[in-house]
Structure 1
Amino acid sequence: MNHQTGGRFNKLPWGLMLLLVSLTLTCCSNPLAATPPPTLEIPLESKVGQLSASRTSLAGGETTDVRVAVVKVLGAADPFAYQWSTTGGLILAGQGTCCISYQAPETPGAFEVHLTVQYEAEFVQRSLTLQVSAPPTATPTPAPTDTPTPAGSTPEPTVTPLPTDLPLPDAVAYFNRAQEYYFKRDYERTLADYTKAIELNYDPLSEAYYNRGYVQYVQQNYTPAIEDFSKAIELNYDPIALPYYNRANAHFYKGNNDQAIADYSKAIELEYDPLSLPYNSRGLAYRKKGEYDNAIADYTKAIELKHEPLVWPYYNRGNAYADKGDYERAISDYGEAIRLDAANANAYYQRGLAYKLKGDFAAARADFQKVLELNNDSLRTDAETQLQELPAP
C-alpha cells in the first residue's frame, strides 16, 4: 500500500539505565523536556536492541508493526540510518525509520524481516521470524462507491480498557505509565491508562486523545481511532496536521475515500512535514476512487518533493498509468522504481504485465523470470502463471 503513518509519543525511561544517566531506550518518540546528558561512548551493538513485533503469528495478508529499540540522547535527532528488507511480504510504511508496518504474504510459511542499522561507518544487523498461516476464507464485499461508508456503519472490534494494575496519584502518572505499557506492546493496558488520564483531565488533553487514537490505529481499530483523532483536532493538538494525516489514514483503511481525501488535503494545507507523505497517500485514495489523473498529479508532486523512499510514488504512479492503459508511461515509472530498488519484485511483476499488454512478450518474460529469481514468495505463483500464458518464444 505504501502508506506511512505519523506517530508521536513522549519518551520514557526504559531498560538501559545501568549507567544512571539520562539515556532512554525508545522507538519513534519525542522526549519530555530534559537537559541532554553528556555523550557516552557505547558500542553500536549495545545501542541497538532486538526486533520486536506487535504480532509474530499472522494470517496471509494481515499486517503487524515491527520495531527496533535504540539508545540515543534525550532531545537529540535520531542519529541512525535504518534499512529494512523481508524474505516475503511487503513493507507498507516506515522504511528509513525504527518502526515499520509489515504485510504478510498470502503464502503460508516462515518469513524473515531484516534490519541494517548504520551509525557513521558502523553497521549492525537484526532479524525477526514471522509465522504466516493461510488467509481465512473471505466473503465477497460490495465494490466501493464514491459515497463513503458512514463512520461506525461497519462493525469493528471494540476494546474494553482493562482496570489498571495499581491506582496512581494523578493524570500525569497514568499518562506516563501508558507510555511504558506502549513500548512493552501491552496495548490493552496502554489504552486503559490513557483513558484514565483523559478522565483525570491530563494537560494537554489533546495529547492523551491523540496517543490513545494512535494505539487504536496501530491495532486496526479504525473507528475509535478516528473518534480520538477528531477529539485531538477539536482540542487543537500541536502540530495539528498530525491528527488530520492519521485520521485520513484510518478513513482510507475503512474505505472512506472521500473523507480520507478531505483529511489528506487538510494536512497538505497545514503543511504536514514531510509534505510528500500526504500527497502520496492522497494519490492512493484517488486511485481507489478511479480518479487516475488526480492520483497521477499527487504522485508527481510527491516525486517533486523527494518522497522518502522515492521508489513509492514512482511505483504508485506506474500503477495509475497502467490503470489508464498508458503502458509506455507505466513501464517508464516501473523502470525508475527498479532503478531505485533493484530488488523490487512488485515493480518487475507490474512492468511485466504492462509489457504483456503491449505485446512485448520477450520483455514481459524477462521481468517475470526476474520475479522468480528474487524469490518473492507472494508473487511466485502469479509470475509462474504469467510465464505459462505467454506465447512460446
Structure 2
Amino acid sequence: MTIRAAIIASVAAVLVLLSIGSPAVAQQPQKKSHLQNIEQCNGADTIPAQVRIAGCTALINSGDARPEALALAYNNRGNAYAAAAEYDRAISDFDRAIELASGYVKAVNNRGVAYLRKGAYEDAVKSFDEAIRLNPAYGSAFANRAEARLKLNQYDRAALDFDEAIRLDPNLTWAWSGRCWTRAIIGDLQAGLVDCDRVIRSGSSDAATYDSRALIHLKMGQFAAAIDDYNSALRLAPNLASALYGRGLARLRQGDGAGGNRDVSAAKLIDLKIADAFARYGVK
C-alpha cells in the first residue's frame, strides 16, 4: 500500500495493515484491545491527546505493524504530541515516520507545524520547503510556510506563499485570512479588505480575521469601523493583545483618552512588545 493510501485509508483499511496474524490469532481476547488501540491512534481531535498517544504507543510497541502502518502510527502520535504542546516529542515522531516512509509528505508538513508552534521558525520553513518539493501542489504547505515567514517578518515572501496556497486550494479559508493580515501589514489595504470580507461572508467566526480587517480600517483612518471589528475579535478572543492595542489606538484617535489608554495598558500586560509589533506594521 502506498503512503498516500495509508494516510487516507479508513480504519478498516488500517486494520489490514496492522493485522495481528492468522484468523486464529485474530480471535484471541487481545483482538478487542488491539482494535481499540487502532481506533484511538486514528482518532479525531475530539479524542483527548493522551488517549491518542496511548493508542499509538501500544501499536508502535506491538511489533505487529508493517512499515507503512508504523509510519502512520508515528505520524498520528506526533500530531497528538503537538496537540499536547509536547513539540520535541512530536518532532521526533515525525522524523521517525519520515525515516520509515521516505517521501511521506504529510509527516514532513506536520513536522514543520510542530517547529512553527515551538517557535523554531527557520526549521519550520525548511520542513515546509521539503514538503513543497515533494508535492508542489500542496496548498496547505504553502500557507504554513507563509505563517512561518510572517513570524520571521518576511511579509512580502509570506504574501507570495499565501497567493500560491489560494491558487492551489481556493477553499483554504485560513489562507485567505492569513493573506488579509499580510496585506494589512504591507499596506495593500484594499486587496486585504477583499480577502477579509470574503472570509467573514463565508460565516467564519475567527478572531484573527476580524483583527486583520480592523488593522486595515485603522490604517485607512476609519476608526469607528476599526473599533467595531476589534470588538468582534475580542468577543471571540478576549485576551488578544493586538485587538486590545489596536482598539486602544483607534479610541485615542477618536479622542477617547480614557478608553484608549485602558486598552493600550491591558494589551501591554499581555504582550510587552505589542507596540513594537504595531510599529513594524506601520502604525504608531
Which TM-score bucket, shorter chain as reference? 0.5 to 0.7
What amino acid maps onto 1:316 in structure 2?
A: G
Conserved 8 A contact 1:352-1:365: no
Shift of 1:344: 5.3
Structure 2 residue matching 1:317: 3-state secondary structure = helix
* Identity among equivalent pairs (%): 23
TM-score by length of 1: 0.49
The counterpart of 1:364, out of the listed 197, 220, 223, is 223
User: Does residue 235 of structure 2 align to residue 376 of structure 1?
Assistant: yes
User: Does residue 196 of structure 2 align to residue 334 of structure 1?
Assistant: yes
- Cα distance in 2 for partners of 1:259, 1:375 equals 32
Call closer, same or farther: CA 1:368–1:241 in 2, change over 3 Å. Answer: same
Conserved 8 A contact 2:49-2:83: no
Shift of 1:196: 4.1
Q: Which residue of 2 aligns with 1:224?
A: 89
What amino acid maps onto 1:245 in structure 2?
A: N
- Cα distance in 2 for partners of 1:258, 1:192 equals 31
Shift of 1:213: 2.1
Call closer, same or farther: CA 1:267–1:290 in 2, change over 3 Å. Answer: same
User: Does residue 173 of structure 2 align to residue 314 of structure 1?
Assistant: no
Structure 1 gaps of 5+ residues are 1-6, 13-29, 35-166
Q: Which residue of 2 aligns with 1:209?
A: 74
Structure 1 residue matching 2:237: 3-state secondary structure = helix
Q: Which residue of 1 aligns with 2:114?
A: 250
Q: Which residue of 2 aligns with 1:269?
A: 133
What amino acid maps onto 1:376 in structure 2?
A: R
Q: Which residue of 2 aligns with 1:301?
A: 164
What amino acid maps onto 2:140 in structure 1?
A: L
Structure 2 residue matching 1:376: 3-state secondary structure = helix
Shift of 1:288: 0.7
What amino acid maps onto 2:143 in structure 1?
A: N
Shift of 1:279: 1.0
Call closer, same or farther: CA 1:346–1:286 in 2, change over 3 Å. Answer: closer
Shift of 1:301: 0.7
TM-score by length of 2: 0.65
What amino acid maps onto 2:106 in structure 1?
A: L
Q: Which residue of 2 aligns with 1:68?
A: none
Q: Which has the higher strand share?
A: 1
Q: Which has the higher helix share?
A: 2
Q: Which has the higher contact order (CA 8 A, sep 6+)?
A: 1
Shift of 1:260: 1.2
Conserved 8 A contact 2:180-2:192: yes
- Cα distance in 2 for partners of 1:208, 1:173 equals 18
What amino acid maps onto 2:184 in structure 1?
A: A
Shift of 1:366: 2.5
- Cα distance in 1 for partners of 2:164, 2:119 equals 23
Structural RMSD (CA): 3.7
Structure 2 gaps of 5+ residues are 1-6, 18-27, 257-284
What amino acid maps onto 1:324 in structure 2?
A: I
- Cα distance in 2 for partners of 1:266, 1:307 equals 22
Structure 2 residue matching 1:308: 3-state secondary structure = coil
User: Does residue 35 of structure 2 align to residue 176 of structure 1?
Assistant: yes
Shift of 1:329: 4.0
Pairing 1:39-118 to 2, within 5 Å after superposition: none
User: Does residue 142 of structure 2 align to residue 283 of structure 1?
Assistant: no
What amino acid maps onto 1:271 in structure 2?
A: N
Structure 1 residue matching 2:47: 3-state secondary structure = coil
Call closer, same or farther: CA 1:307–1:226 in 2, change over 3 Å. Answer: farther
Q: Which residue of 2 aligns with 1:134?
A: none
Shift of 1:373: 6.6
Conserved 8 A contact 1:321-1:327: yes
- Cα distance in 2 for partners of 1:335, 1:190 equals 37
Call closer, same or farther: CA 1:215–1:178 in 2, change over 3 Å. Answer: farther
- Cα distance in 1 for partners of 2:218, 2:203 equals 22
- Cα distance in 1 for partners of 2:52, 2:58 equals 10
